[in-house]
């Protein structure tokens, strides 16, 4: 039976206190100035793809987001390139509703049942109008799942599902609108709660389980009021409902259900049954049963570890600047150049896949890949050497207060990899006052800047999270 | 293989140099007219006498037309060249080799840069279309890596290191204050240097060379013809130029306390000039003090100080105007300013003045052999030029 073979999550490093916005308690996760939904999807996907079991070769990639970096140009292609998946994959972008994350997961499982192995990554950078509930209640995060059918051993099988689609004006955003709008919550609750109860019941019937058989219930939707009237008629006890990370991450759009499901899987045991419901423009419900494979199938980072690893004093004005809501005085430096299509195409394996080269003659590693070895000058005699997961450390560094950045100073570091090779690259998610020679780093996929509408993706190093 | 050199076969018989600085009311063309006219006059020649021109500029024009158009040069070869911040020196080297070859009898090397029209801080460049994976670090950031690396390697505490960098800036401003063509003609108190706003790493504004406009030019001929044009020519002993393979940016064994490109270009130049002990034999030098730690490291790479000792020599005043081996007597890039394409020629201009005893208040007592050093790029990835000139 088809199900989840591997999963991964990603929560960005920065948090803004809701008190800094003047809106309640807790904090929300905020994508850094050099992140977007595609780069965060890559981070979550790397977690899910790191140790795939035998027989699981991804042949399909789906990216779900309501904040896709490109409205035309396949964002899933960025995901494919940055995770070094084969070019033979089928790739698709999904969006249009924050339900698209769970819908993509269900569609991926359908594809898995048809013999495909599918990477689904859902990711969102949720930007609300300043002072509105979407701004303070939203969050930025990503989740990724590898879905497989026969021939793969899932860590969680899909045992039941149900869907419902409703033409309703709840959350909407037309092209050109800077922020999404939402109709009054009381209306949405009255429309959605009965749909949720009904759809949830169908899913349990499909799974052949009762509400009390569920270890965990993940509830997510555009309207929190919907869930107030849900547990009693559905027969769910409050303790079955998993923490929705509202106080620590905020609701991360299309990624949110996957993120909370990932946190459920982080703590699940074989035999656990987990129901996931998303209410937006209708309802999707999926019921999973965790298998014995769970213990060998967890990612390097749990959701809790991402949540704990943070800097939580982001200034509100900085946040607004990062999201391009607040205009600001640019540095007295030229705007960065728009990267050009042919050079990016030629350098794809370096720029996206972060693949270097290893000289076949002397064994030296070259970053970026070189045709002529920097040590022995052998020509065109090297093999590909992957670096994205390479252990590395700061050889030396400097704070560049002159370079163009949305978050000066740029911290430039000479980074040496344990397996050999050196590169000069920018550090990110780092406190300039707390950097030292020898610090251990890990590589992270980022959007360096956007110029002429072209997003310039490349890798940076960050302190280990 | 090493370069054979053209020791004493080529002479400089005239030079011109504009004041460097913020020339809001002068274009690159104006600056070229000023520098070239001064050089014609210095050599006592007419434009007709010059057989060919080399023009160095990194971004103030493309092609030889940048020079021929403003000066109305009458249908002669003008080569425009670029080699990063060593561009001006490259103009000299190529022009000198052209007369040495016998292809021409009298040539001119010219450099110009108009930096202050951009409205930006620091240097700006126009790179070819790229893949967007370059580090994006600025020049001060790249060169700032030298200071902590040097301090760590030689056990210099960072406070002392700060004093050393400040001393270099102080010295060069002291010299520039005695130069009517320098961009900054005032001494700068130590406290002001120490307190200048940080730009990158340990480096403050006062550790950085001046961004400026300017132009300089040299008239060059074979040695046997030199006295036709000038009673006091200076002679080229060595011209060396090296482009590195960019090892330091890629190899973990590079430690940011040296420029291998400079070491090699200096070695080559000393062979050409017959210099065995640069610390004793070089009377004075104009070196590429783009940032204060660059000058510190150069003192060792050029062989003026033993490894790990340049900071002491600096503090002891060895490189002061009245020291044993004055460095950047005209104020250097720091105080004279750094209009990229012109800087290599500006360095030579100071050699011209000093060797001919025309440096006025800055005059060094009886200099015999001078060195100019010009660098382009960044630690680990650069080009380096060294010349030796004398009487």
ipTM (interface predicted TM): 0.92
Catalytic option among B17, B85, B208, B382: B85
Among candidates B200, B247, B256 on the partner chain, residue whose Cβ is nearest the Cβ of A402 = B200
Say which residues have a Cβ less than 8 Å from residue A39's Cβ, sequence separation at least 6: A445, A446, A447, A457
CA-based nearest distance B194→chain A, Å: 17
What backbone phi and psi angles, to 5 degrees, belong to A447?
A: -100, 105
Rounded to whole angstroms, the Cα distance separating B391 from B389 reads 7
Rounded to whole angstroms, the Cα distance separating B86 from B385 reads 7
Among candidates B120, B129, B140 on the partner chain, residue whose Cβ is nearest the Cβ of A334 = B120
Three-class secondary structure assignment of chain A: CCEEEEEEEECCCEEEEHHHHCCCCCEEEECCCCCCHHHHHHHHHHHHHCCCCCCCCCCEEEEECCCCCCCCCCHHHHHHHHCCCCCCCEEEEECCCCCHHHHHHHHHHHHHHCCCCEEEEEEEECCCCCCCHHHHHECEEEEEEEEECCCCCCCEEEEEEEEEECCCCCEECCCCCCCCEECCHHHHHHHHHHHHHHHHHHHHHHHCCCHHHCCEEEEEECCHHHHCCCHHHHCCCHHHECCCCCCCCCECHHHHHHHHHHHHHHCCCCCCEEEEEEECCEEEEEEEEECHHHHHCCCCCCHHHHHHCCECCCCHHHHHHHCCCCCCCCCCCCCCCCCCHHHHHHCHHHHCCCEEEEECCCCCEECCCCCECCCCCCECCEEEEECCCCCEEEEEEEEECCCCCCCCCEEEEEEEECCCCEEEEEECCCCHHHCCCCCEEEEEEEEEEEECCEEEEEEEEEECC
* pTM assigned to the model: 0.95
Q: In what order do the strands lie in the sheet with A382-386?
A: A365-366, A355-359, A382-386
Rounded to whole angstroms, the Cα distance separating B348 from A10 reads 58
pLDDT of residue B128: 87
Catalytic residue flag (residue B23): no
Name every chain B residue with its beta carbon within 8 A of the beta carbon of A406: none
Say which residues have a Cβ less than 8 Å from residue A358's Cβ, sequence separation at least 6: A364, A365, A366, A382, A383, A384, A385, A420
Name every chain A residue with its beta carbon within 8 A of the beta carbon of B196: none
Biggest alpha carbon–alpha carbon distance for chain A? 73
Task: Please report, for residues A61, A96, A220, A257, A388, the alpha-carbon distance to residue A260 in angstroms, rounded to integers and kept in the order given.
Answer: 21, 21, 9, 5, 26
Comparing C-alpha atoms, which of A360, A295, A3, A340 is closest to residue A157?
A3
Q: Tell whether B124 is within 8 A of chain A (Cβ).
A: yes
Q: State how far Cα A261 lies from the chain centre.
A: 13
Rounded to whole angstroms, the Cα distance separating B343 from B287 reads 10
* In contact, A279 and A256? CB cutoff 8 Å: no
Say which residues have a Cβ less than 8 Å from residue A351's Cβ, sequence separation at least 6: A344, A457, A458, B131, B132, B133
pLDDT of residue B249: 86
Among candidates B121, B137, B254 on the partner chain, residue whose Cβ is nearest the Cβ of A332 = B121
Collapsed DSSP state (helix, strand, coil) of residue B40: helix
Q: Tell whether B121 is within 8 A of chain A (Cβ).
A: yes
Q: Tell whether B127 is within 8 A of chain A (Cβ).
A: yes
Rounded to whole angstroms, the Cα distance separating B198 from A390 reads 33
**Six-digit token string for B48:** 């007709």
**Six-digit token string for B250:** 């890629």
Across the interface, do B250 and A421 touch by the CB < 8 Å criterion?
Answer: yes
Say which residues have a Cβ less than 8 Å from residue B155's Cβ, sequence separation at least 6: none
Rounded to whole angstroms, the Cα distance separating B275 from B281 reads 7
Question: For the structural domain made of B139-207+237-390, what CATH number should be given?
Answer: 3.40.47.10
Name every chain B residue with its beta carbon within 8 A of the beta carbon of A374: 245-247, 250-251
Q: What burial letters (b/e) apply to A134-149, b meaning 16+ CB within 10 Å?
A: bbbbbbbbbbbbbbbb
Catalytic option among B208, B338, B373, B382: B338
Summarised one tens digit per residue, pLDDT across range A299-336 is 999 999 999 999 999 999 999 999 999 998 887 888 88
pLDDT of residue A130: 96
Residues in a beta bridge with A384? A357
pLDDT of residue A334: 82
Residue B51, number of CB atoms within 10 A of its CB: 16
Kindly report the length of chain B: 391
Question: For the structural domain made of B10-121+213-235, what CATH number should be given?
Answer: 3.40.47.10
Name every chain A residue with its beta carbon within 8 A of the beta carbon of B254: 422
pLDDT of residue A328: 87
Pairing, β B198-200 against β A410-417: unpaired
Across the interface, do B121 and A456 touch by the CB < 8 Å criterion?
Answer: no
Rounded to whole angstroms, the Cα distance separating B136 from A426 reads 8
Pairing, β B10-17 against β B213-222: antiparallel
Catalytic residue flag (residue B85): yes
Rounded to whole angstroms, the Cα distance separating B262 from A178 reads 54
Per-residue pLDDT of chain B (391 residues; tens, 9 = 90+): 468 999 999 999 999 999 999 999 999 999 999 999 999 999 999 999 999 999 999 999 999 999 999 999 999 999 999 999 999 999 999 999 999 999 999 999 999 999 999 888 777 777 889 999 988 889 999 999 999 999 999 999 999 999 999 999 999 999 999 999 999 999 999 999 999 999 999 999 999 999 999 999 999 999 999 999 999 999 999 999 999 999 998 999 999 999 999 999 999 999 999 999 999 999 999 999 999 999 999 999 999 999 999 999 999 999 999 999 999 999 999 999 999 999 999 999 999 999 999 999 999 999 999 999 999 999 999 999 999 999 9
pLDDT of residue B127: 82
CA angle, residues B271, B277, B278, in degrees to nearest 5: 80
Collapsed DSSP state (helix, strand, coil) of residue B98: helix
Q: In chain B, where does DSSP find H-type helix?
A: 28-43, 65-71, 87-101, 139-144, 146-153, 158-176, 190-194, 226-229, 260-273, 278-281, 292-301, 310-315, 332-336, 340-355
**What are the structural domains, with CATH classification, of chain A?**
3-322 (3.40.47.10), 348-463 (no CATH)
**Six-digit token string for B156:** 């210099």
Rounded to whole angstroms, the Cα distance separating B370 from B379 reads 25
Residues in a beta bridge with A124? A141
How many contacts (CB atoms, under 8 Å) link A and B? 122
Q: What burial letters (b/e) apply to B157-185, b meaning 16+ CB within 10 Å?
A: eeeebbbbbbbbbbbbbbbbbbbebbbbb
Across the interface, do A337 and B149 touch by the CB < 8 Å criterion?
Answer: no
Comparing C-alpha atoms, which of A42, A10, A17 is closest to residue A318?
A17
Comparing C-alpha atoms, which of A341, A170, A180 is closest to residue B132?
A341
Residues of chain B with CATH 3.40.47.10: 10-121+213-235, 139-207+237-390
Residues in a beta bridge with A390? none
Interface test with A, best of B120, B137, B204 (most A CBs within 10 A): B137
Residue whose token pair is 């620590």? A248
Task: Please report, for residues A42, A102, A170, A258, A462, the alpha-carbon distance to residue A144 in angstroms, rounded to integers and kept in the order given.
Answer: 9, 11, 26, 7, 21
CA angle, residues B93, B98, B103, in degrees to nearest 5: 175
Which residue in B has a C-alpha nearest to residue A427's C-alpha? B135
**Six-digit token string for A453:** 């509408």
Per-residue pLDDT of chain A (465 residues; tens, 9 = 90+): 899 999 999 999 999 999 999 888 999 999 999 999 999 999 999 999 998 988 789 999 999 999 999 999 999 999 999 999 999 999 999 999 999 999 999 999 999 999 999 999 999 999 999 999 999 999 999 999 999 998 889 999 999 999 999 999 999 999 999 999 999 999 999 999 999 999 999 999 999 999 999 999 999 999 999 999 999 999 999 999 999 999 999 999 999 999 999 999 999 999 999 999 999 999 999 999 999 999 999 999 999 999 999 999 999 999 999 999 999 888 788 888 899 999 999 999 999 999 999 999 999 999 999 999 999 999 999 999 999 999 999 999 999 998 888 888 999 999 999 999 999 999 999 998 999 999 999 999 999 999 999 999 999 999 999
A413: buried, middle or exposed (CB in 10 Å: 19+, 13-18, 0-12)? buried
pLDDT of residue B143: 97
pLDDT of residue B311: 98
Residue whose token pair is 């689904």? A120
Please give the torsion angle defined by the CA atoms of residues A243, A247, A248 and A253, in that order, rounded to the nearest 10 degrees.
Answer: 80
CA-based nearest distance A36→chain B, Å: 17
């Amino acid at each position: 039976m088809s199900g989840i073979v591997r999963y991964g999550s990603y929560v960005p490093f920065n948090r803004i206190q809701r008190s800094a916005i003047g809106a309640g308690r807790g904090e929300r996760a905020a994508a850094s100035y050099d992140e977007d939904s595609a780069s965060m999807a890559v981070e979550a996907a790397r977690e899910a793809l790191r140790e795939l079991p035998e027989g699981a070769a991804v042949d399909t990639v789906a990216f779900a987001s309501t904040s896709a970096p490109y409205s035309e140009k396949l964002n899933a292609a960025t995901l494919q390139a940055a995770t070094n998946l084969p070019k033979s994959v089928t790739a698709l972008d999904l969006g249009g509703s924050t339900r698209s994350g769970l819908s993509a997961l269900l569609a991926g499982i359908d594809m898995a049942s048809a013999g495909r192995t599918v990477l689904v990554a859902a990711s969102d950078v949720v930007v609300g109008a300043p002072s509105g509930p979407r701004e303070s209640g939203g969050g930025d995060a990503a989740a990724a799942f590898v879905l497989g059918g026969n021939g793969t051993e899932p860590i969680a099988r899909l045992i039941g599902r149900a869907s419902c689609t409703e033409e309703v004006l709840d959350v909407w955003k037309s092209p050109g609108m800077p922020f999404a709008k939402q109709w009054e919550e009381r209306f949405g609750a009255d429309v959605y709660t009965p749909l949720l109860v009904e759809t949830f019941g169908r899913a349990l019937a499909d799974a052949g389980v009762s509400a009390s058989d569920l270890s965990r219930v993940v509830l997510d939707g555009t309207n929190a009021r919907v869930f107030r009237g849900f547990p009693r008629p559905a027969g769910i006890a409050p303790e079955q409902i998993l923490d929705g990370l509202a106080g620590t991450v905020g609701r991360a759009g299309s990624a949110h259900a996957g993120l909370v499901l990932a946190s459920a899987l982080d703590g699940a045991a074989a035999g656990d049954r987990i129901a996931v419901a998303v209410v937006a423009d209708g309802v999707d419900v999926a019921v999973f049963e965790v298998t014995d494979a769970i213990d060998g199938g967890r990612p390097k980072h749990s959701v809790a570890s991402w949540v704990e690893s943070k800097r939580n004093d982001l200034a509100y004005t900085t946040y607004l600047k990062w999201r391009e809501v607040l205009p600001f005085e640019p540095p007295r430096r030229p705007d960065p150049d728009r990267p050009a299509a042919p050079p990016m195409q030629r350098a794809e394996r370096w720029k996206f896949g972060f693949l270097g080269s290893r000289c076949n003659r002397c064994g030296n590693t070259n970053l970026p890949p070189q045709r002529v070895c920097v040590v022995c000058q052998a020509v065109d005699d090297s093999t590909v050497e992957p670096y994205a997961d390479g252990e590395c450390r700061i050889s030396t560094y400097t704070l560049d207060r002159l370079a163009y950045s949305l978050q000066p100073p740029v911290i430039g570091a000479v980074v040496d990899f344990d397996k050999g090779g050196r590169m000069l690259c920018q550090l990110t998610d780092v406190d300039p006052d707390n950097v030292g020679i020898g610090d251990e780093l890990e590589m992270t996929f980022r959007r360096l800047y956007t110029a002429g509408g072209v997003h310039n993706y490349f890798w940076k190093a960050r302190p280990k999270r | 293989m090493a370069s054979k050199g053209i020791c004493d076969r080529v002479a400089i018989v005239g030079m011109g140099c504009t004041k460097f600085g913020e020339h809001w009311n002068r274009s690159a063309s104006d600056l070229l007219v000023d520098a070239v006219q001064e050089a014609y006059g210095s050599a006592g020649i007419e434009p007709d006498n010059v057989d060919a021109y080399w023009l160095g500029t990194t971004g103030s024009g493309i092609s030889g037309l940048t020079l021929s158009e403003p000066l109305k040069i009458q249908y002669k070869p003008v080569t425009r060249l670029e080699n990063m911040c060593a561009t001006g020196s490259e103009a000299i080297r190529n022009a000198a080799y052209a007369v040495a070859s016998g292809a021409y009898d009298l040539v001119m090397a010219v450099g110009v840069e108009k930096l202050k029209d951009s409205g930006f801080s620091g240097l700006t460049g126009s790179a070819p279309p790229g893949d967007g994976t370059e580090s994006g670090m600025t020049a001060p950031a790249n060169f700032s890596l030298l200071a902590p690396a040097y301090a760590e390697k030689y056990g210099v505490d960072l406070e002392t290191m700060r004093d050393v960098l400040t001393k270099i800036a102080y010295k060069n401003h002291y010299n520039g204050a005695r130069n009517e063509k320098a961009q900054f003609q005032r001494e700068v108190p130590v406290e002001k240097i120490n307190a200048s706003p940080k730009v990158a790493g340990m480096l403050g504004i006062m550790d950085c060379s001046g961004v400026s406009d300017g132009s300089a030019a040299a008239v060059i001929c074979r040695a046997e013809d030199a006295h036709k044009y000038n009673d006091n020519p200076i002679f080229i002993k060595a011209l060396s130029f090296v482009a590195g393979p960019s090892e330091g940016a890629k190899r973990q064994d590079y430690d940011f306390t040296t420029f291998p490109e400079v070491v090699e270009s200096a070695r080559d130049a000393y062979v050409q000039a017959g210099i065995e002990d640069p610390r004793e034999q070089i009377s004075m030098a104009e070196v590429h003090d783009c940032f204060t730690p660059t000058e510190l490291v150069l003192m060792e790479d050029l062989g003026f100080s033993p490894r790990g000792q340049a900071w002491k020599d600096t503090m002891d005043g060895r490189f002061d105007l009245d020291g044993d081996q004055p460095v950047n007597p005209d104020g250097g890039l720091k105080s004279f300013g750094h209009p990229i394409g012109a800087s290599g020629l500006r360095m030579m201009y100071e050699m011209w003045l000093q060797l001919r005893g025309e440096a006025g208040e800055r005059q060094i007592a009886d200099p015999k052999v001078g060195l100019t050093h010009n660098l382009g790029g960044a630690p680990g990835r650069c080009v380096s030029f060294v010349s030796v000139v004398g009487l």
